[in-house]
Homo-oligomer: A and B are copies of this chain.
Amino acid sequence: MYSPEVESLLKSKKIKVGDRVRIEKKGMVYEGILMPRIELGDSSSLVVKLDNGYNIGVRIERDVKIKKIGRGKAIKFKASGVRIERDAAKPTVSVLGCGGTIASRVEYTTGAVFPAFSPGDLLLSFPELKEVANINGRKLFDLLSEDITPSHWQIIAKEVAKEIRGSDGIVLMHGTDTLHYTSAALSFMLQNLPVPVVLVGSQRSSDRGSSDNAMNLLSSVLTAAKSDIAEVTVCMHGSSSDDFCFVHQGTKVRKLHTSRRDAFQSVNALPFAKVWYKEGKIEYLRNDFNKRDKKVFRLDDKINPNVGLVYVHPGIKPEFISSLSEFYEGIVLVVTGMGNVPANPSNDKFAKSIVPSIKNLIASGIPVAVAPQTLYGRINMNIYSAGRMLNETGVIGQYCDWLPETAFVKLMWVLGHTKNMDKIKEMMLKNYAGEISERSEVE
């Protein structure tokens, strides 16, 4: 609820959500659509969607002038009444909705948000999909991806497992912020996939001219329906033009820009393929993926979510490292360079070696894995003395080129299977889903 002052102001001006308003504050003028108030938000601020597509918050204070300059229009979009004919000649793709920008159709003339999940909704929004495949649509939940947790990864994995029979491929619509954490988790949980499982998101909502939702969704359905990549993948814009999407390996991809449409990039690996959606063509860039066949699919969704992802930095305190045992049963340290931490400081009033604290964590039964802060490249703790000392503590990750986020998700998954330190180390260093690339002579 708005504050009583704001409520009465809106009432006196006969302004409702969806109306076009003009606000003057401190010499600035804002024009746009009044949006619904967010829960837990500041009760004295109005949210206005500007014509450039962005929302701004304006705190209503004494000097603010507000005027209604247009009425909200009625909702035009109706999902009901779409008749879907199945085409037996076409593959069948299941589209499961987890939330995020792509999973919503926002009617900004009214501010109402439509979760677009039913086959009817999807085909209304994106009629091109019908040309590619028969679509089964279903909503799992509707969350922004920052609120997705390890338990949601389990739900998604179970629902994908249910959906595999009767589908030629599965598309998961998901928010982008933690899309790569989810794709890594599913890569470990869904073993011997017989069909493609493609995660897709959207960086810009459908009300913006530059939205990437249509092209990304169409490309992901193409990948699910037609590609031979029976792996967990992420399908997103490959460039800042609307020409192709990349199909990234689920364990080797990361969001690398807050807002660009080509924010997702493969790290330490080539993407599996490019999808030229206009031509309906899939161009393979690699061939080392699991192909479609009658594999014995296995759902392995055991996970222990008590893992922390911890950044190492100048001035990091040994007692902070030690305190992690109070919160987590496993730690991924994001270390500098090829695998270094403050180890050998000279006589310094500010910082001490964290090597003994790491050693103590491991001695107390908490596995510690390491991954590179640089994101790109491979851990090698043999080159420098700090790395050697770190390696000798028993940290896990020597010669690994895994992403910090992937190592983190993997440690959760491994700790769902065993508490035995040797077994943990063995499982962590085993390559389950391409998360550790083979070392090559070229490096």
Question: A interface vs B, CB < 8 Å?
Answer: 38-42, 47, 54-57, 141, 143-152, 176-178, 181, 255-260, 263, 305-311, 313-317, 319-320, 323-324, 326-328, 334, 336-346, 348-351, 372-380, 382-386, 388-389, 391-392, 404-405, 408, 412, 443
A255's nearest neighbour on chain B, judged by CB, is B374
15 A-B Cβ contacts within 8 A?
Answer: A47-B388, A56-B382, A144-B386, A146-B337, A147-B386, A148-B314, A176-B337, A181-B313, A258-B374, A258-B376, A259-B380, A313-B405, A313-B408, A317-B327, A320-B324
Sample of 4 further A-B pairs with CB below 8 A, known A258-B377, A260-B377, A315-B412: A38-B389, A40-B389, A145-B337, A317-B328
Contacts of A324 in B (CB 8 A): 320
A305 engages B350 (CB within 8 Å): yes
Which B residues are in CB contact (< 8 Å) with A144?
A: 340, 344, 384-386
Q: Complex formed: what's the CA distance from A384 to B41 in Å? A: 11
Select A345's contact among B56, B149, B342, B391, beta carbons within 8 Å.
B149
**Cβ-defined partner of A341 (8 Å) among B38, B146, B258, B350:** B146
Query: Are B388 and A38 closer than 8 Å at their CB atoms?
Result: yes
CA distance A334 to B405 in the complex (A): 13
Within the complex, what minimum Cβ distance (angstroms) separates A240 from chain B? 11
Q: Are A320 and B315 in contact (CB under 8 A)?
A: no
Q: Cα distance A306–B315 when bound, in Å?
A: 7
A341 to chain B, nearest CB (A): 6
A259 near B377: Cβ-Cβ < 8 Å = yes
Please tell me if the beta carbons of A376 and B257 are within 8 angstroms of each other in the complex.
yes
Contact B372 A258 (CB under 8 A): yes
A238 to chain B, nearest CB (A): 16
Chain B min CB distance to A146 (Å) = 4
| CB of A319, distance to nearest CB on chain B (Å) | 7
Task: Tell me, in angstroms, the Cα distance from A354 to B3 when the chains sit together.
Answer: 25
Q: Report yes or no: B311 in contact with A334, Cβ–Cβ below 8 A.
A: yes
Query: Measured between alpha carbons, how far is A344 from B40 in the docked complex, in Å?
Result: 9
The residue that A57 contacts in the complex, of B177, B317, B382, with Cβ under 8 A, is B382
> Cβ of A388: which chain B residues have Cβ within 8 Å of it?
38, 41, 47, 57
B147–A342 CB distance below 8 A: yes
Q: Nearest-CB distance from A382 to chain B (Å)?
A: 5
State the Cβ distance, A394 to closest chain B Cβ, in Å.
Answer: 11
**Residue in A147, A176, A306, A343 whose Cβ sees the most chain B Cβ within 10 Å:** A147
Partner of A38, one of B342, B373, B374, B385: B385
CB-defined contacts of A443 to chain B, threshold 8 Å:
259
Chain B residues with CB below 8 A from A150, complex form: 314-315, 350-351
CB atoms of A385 and B39 under 8 A apart = yes
Chain B nearest CB, measured from A307 CB (Å): 7
In the complex, what's the smallest C-beta–C-beta distance from A103 to chain B, in angstroms?
13
Give the CA-CA distance A342 to B147 in the complex, in Å.
5
How far apart sit A251 and B383, CA to CA, in the bound complex (Å)?
28
**Nearest-Cβ distance from residue A173 to partner chain B, whole angstroms:** 16
Q: A389 — nearest CB in chain B belongs to which residue?
A: B40
Residues of the B chain whose Cβ atoms lie less than 8 Å from the Cβ of A307: 315
In the bound complex, CA of A158 to CA of B324 (Å): 36
Q: Which residue in chain B gives the minimum CB-CB distance to A353? A: B147
CB distance from A309 to the nearest CB of B (A): 4
Q: Which residues of B contact A54 (CB under 8 A)?
A: 380, 382-383
Chain B nearest CB: distance from A376 CB in Å?
Answer: 4
**For A337, what are the chain B residues with a Cβ–Cβ distance below 8 Å?**
145-146, 176-177, 255, 258
Which residues of B lie under 8 Å from residue A38 when comparing CB positions? 385, 388-389
Q: A151-B350, A320-B308 in contact; A256/B344 too (CB < 8 A)?
A: no
- If A316-B308, A377-B257 touch, does A149 touch B348 (CB 8 Å cutoff)? yes
User: In whole angstroms, how far apart are the Cα atoms of A348 and B141 in the complex?
Assistant: 12
User: Across chains A and B, which 4 residue pairs bring their CB atoms closest together, nearest first?
Assistant: A258-B377, A177-B337, A146-B340, A177-B336
From known contacts A40-B389, A41-B389, A311-B309, infer whether A378 and B149 are also in contact, taking CB-CB under 8 Å.
no
